[in-house]
Amino acid sequence: MCGIIGYTGNGNAVPKMTEGLSVLEYRGYDSVGIAAQTDGGISVVKCKGRIQTLKEKEELAALSSTCAIGHTRWATHGGPSDINAHPHRAGSVVLVHNGIIENYKELKEQMQQKGVYFLSETDTEVAAAVLNDCYLESGDPVAAIRKAMLQLKGSYAFGVLFDDHKGEIYAVRQGSPLILAKGQDGSYLASDITALLPFTREYYPLEEGEIAHLTKSFAKLCSVGGEEITPAWTTTSMSPEAAQKGGYPHFMLKEIHEQSEAIVKSVSSRINAEGLPDFSADGIDADFWKQVKNIQIVACGSAMHAGIVGSRFLEEYAKIPTNVYIASEYRYHPPLAVDGTLVIIISQSGETADSLAALRYAKSAGLPTLGIVNAVETTIAREADRRIYTYAGPEIAVATTKGYCTQVSVLYMLSVAIAYATGRMDAVTAKEIAHSIKEDAPRAVAHMLETYKDTFVRIAKKLAPKEDMFYIGRGTAYALSLEAALKIKEISYIHTEAYAAGELKHGTISLVEEGTPVIAISTEAELYDKTESNVREVASRGADVTLICRDDTGEKEFSANEVILLPTNSEAATVFAALVTIQILAYETARIKGCDIDRPRNLAKSVTVE
């Protein structure tokens, strides 16, 4: 959730810190800080607020260093404040921290009994105190980190400076992601590879429990047990330009428009020369799918909503019973698993803490696991038995768009691949659907963005002043409504709920009054008449209704105030046209309200705490 950047080398570290932290802004944060080694010791400059506030501080302008660490904080223990901002100091130790120390209260009491006085409310300052206590005993940074790890419970990634080890950064990863990188001018450290792109493209993701010692000329690694580790450096194909807005006013809008290309990338390698769905390039052959008798999809937020859409296809085409579970609940009331159960973990970042914990639980129960992730070489990708990358590319806006879109496209293609491999779908049908996902879906996305751009703005102007609104739908449209409601909530802060349209009469319709915005989605022809009846129900009670429906309804007059027609040349075209419509409506509503679209309040991009 928070962001870490570090550098030691021949260059000026301070501008590297501010540039790297600026790249990490998308992760969500409420305070920021830098610690830099100078001739007079380690100087710490930090504050509540944005990076621009930090840049304006005189102390930072006067700072010069070749070794520094920086941090953007998203408050968990203690509210946003100058004091609670990272880095935190304890004795000879200054550190930045992503994650949560679960036993910090117990450790804090132990440190207080030793005479330690704490300035902040954070668990991070407690971790610094524990590390400093261990360092006082050994005088060896690595030995101190190893000993501290035995006392700390929770998830954490640390970047650490020691007063008497100039030009050196120490780091450890336990649960939260951390990446090392080497450039021509020194060594780097970051929580996200995008922060490293302005400086270098050669990186190494730390494994669980690995401890790193960085200098300007080398990176030494060891395990918590002390064994030396040789890092396997990788060169990322991601370019610095991929993490820029490219002329768009917001990353979210850029990423919405990138979805046509992202869909093609996500499915192209999964269609073989005969035009059939094929995941053998991912190391998954047809025989594997034949063993699957039951599927459990586990995810959080938008990834869970993608799973719900995907479950419809998996049951419709592959005829495999599929259930979707909230990752944070999965371990506490684990579902029954029969022989042939496959657990699919979906995560854009590949580091979502609850999803990772669910993955580990499933593996401990002996269940085969499949990770569907975007970010390459992340923890979920490495630990899952099998993995499928969505190839969405970097997604900077906190509210996911193309991440969700490509998760849906992969699950869609997966359902067809399983159906064909198990003989539940013939080759002709499988080819047709695979072709429609690759060709029709991208065209439908582009069509909606161009054809209805004025309509989207007109509808958004009516939504913007409202405090409450509803999405309704049936079947796949209801699954899409869940994501639609989340998008509006995330970036425009309008209280929005999604309901299965047939449930209106069981209580929900009592909330509809004169002027209440209701957006109805209908993507399946056989469910249109029933959805239209629900539209009439809410309209008769004064709701301001927008209907998003197929263009083949045959209606000449609609009951809704606004109508958006979806292409119906294929099921894929209809589904993805609806998908982009709900995203752009949320975007335009937030834009009209003047919200911070790419960095909505209280939210973070990569949720690495449980």
pLDDT per residue as tens digits for the range 498-550:
998 887 777 777 777 888 899 999 999 999 889 888 888 888 888 899 999 99
Domain range annotation of the chain: 3-242, 246-443, 452-595
Strand duo 3-9 + 186-190: pairing: antiparallel
Helix (H, G, I), strand (E, B) or coil at 436: helix
Cα 140 from Cα 195, distance rounded (Å):
29
Q: State pLDDT tens for residues 62-101.
A: 888 999 999 988 777 788 899 999 999 999 999 999 888 8
Backbone angles phi, psi at 286, to 5 degrees: -60, -30
Angle formed at CA 333 by CA 328 and CA 338, multiple of 5 degrees: 110
The predicted pLDDT at position 478 comes to 95
Cα 605 from Cα 91, distance rounded (Å):
33
Rounded percentage of the chain residues whose pLDDT exceeds 70: 97
Highest-scoring range by mean pLDDT, 171-185, 227-241, 577-591: 577-591
Cα 67 from Cα 536, distance rounded (Å):
66
The predicted pLDDT at position 41 comes to 92
The predicted pLDDT at position 541 comes to 83
Cβ-Cβ contacts under 8 Å for 242 (sequence gap 6 or more): 197, 393, 394
Cα 178 from Cα 176, distance rounded (Å):
7
Q: State pLDDT tens for residues 559-591.
A: 888 999 999 999 999 999 999 999 999 999 999
Q: State pLDDT tens for residues 144-170.
A: 999 999 999 988 999 999 999 999 999
Q: What is the mean pLDDT of residues 25-35?
A: 80
Task: For the domain covering 452-595, report its CATH number.
Answer: 3.40.50.10490
Place of tokens 């030009």: 167
The predicted pLDDT at position 512 comes to 74
SS3 string, 350-361, reads CCCHHHHHHHHH
Instruction: Indicate if 246-443 has the same CATH topology as 3-242.
Output: no
Tally of CB atoms within 10 A around 143: 15
Mean pLDDT of the chain: 90
Cα 583 from Cα 290, distance rounded (Å):
36
pTM of the model: 0.76
Place 194 in a pLDDT band, splitting at 50, 70 and 90.
confident
Place 396 in a pLDDT band, splitting at 50, 70 and 90.
confident
The predicted pLDDT at position 603 comes to 66
Q: Does domain 3-242 have CATH number 3.40.1160.10?
A: no
The predicted pLDDT at position 154 comes to 85
Report whether pLDDT(609) > 60. no
Cα 190 from Cα 212, distance rounded (Å):
12
Rounded percentage of the chain residues whose pLDDT exceeds 90: 66
Alpha helices in 385-425 (DSSP H): 402-421
- One CATH from 3.20.10.10, 3.40.50.970, 3.40.50.720, 3.40.50.10490 for 246-443: 3.40.50.10490
Task: Let me know: does 121 contact 84? Beta carbons within 8 Å.
Answer: yes
Place 28 in a pLDDT band, splitting at 50, 70 and 90.
low
The predicted pLDDT at position 573 comes to 96
Place 491 in a pLDDT band, splitting at 50, 70 and 90.
very high
Q: Catalytic residue positions?
A: 2, 605
Place 321 in a pLDDT band, splitting at 50, 70 and 90.
very high
Place 605 in a pLDDT band, splitting at 50, 70 and 90.
low
β strands within 148-218, DSSP E? 154-162, 169-174, 179-183, 186-190, 202-205, 211-214
Q: State pLDDT tens for residues 413-438.
A: 999 999 999 999 999 999 999 999 99
| Preceding omega of 321 cis (within 30 degrees of 0) | no
Place of tokens 């390459």: 376
Cα 428 from Cα 426, distance rounded (Å):
6
Report whether pLDDT(1) > 70. no
Q: What is the mean pLDDT of residues 285-292?
A: 92
Cα 584 from Cα 483, distance rounded (Å):
12
Q: What is the mean pLDDT of residues 473-491?
A: 95
Tally of CB atoms within 10 A around 282: 15
Phi-psi region of 5 (alpha: psi -120 to 50; beta: other; left: phi over 0): beta
Cα 564 from Cα 547, distance rounded (Å):
6
The predicted pLDDT at position 124 comes to 92
The predicted pLDDT at position 300 comes to 93
Kind and range of the H or E run holding 221? strand 219-222
Task: Let me know: does 354 contact 607? Beta carbons within 8 Å.
Answer: yes
Report whether pLDDT(181) > 60. yes
Place 384 in a pLDDT band, splitting at 50, 70 and 90.
very high
Task: Let me know: does 517 contact 469? Beta carbons within 8 Å.
Answer: yes
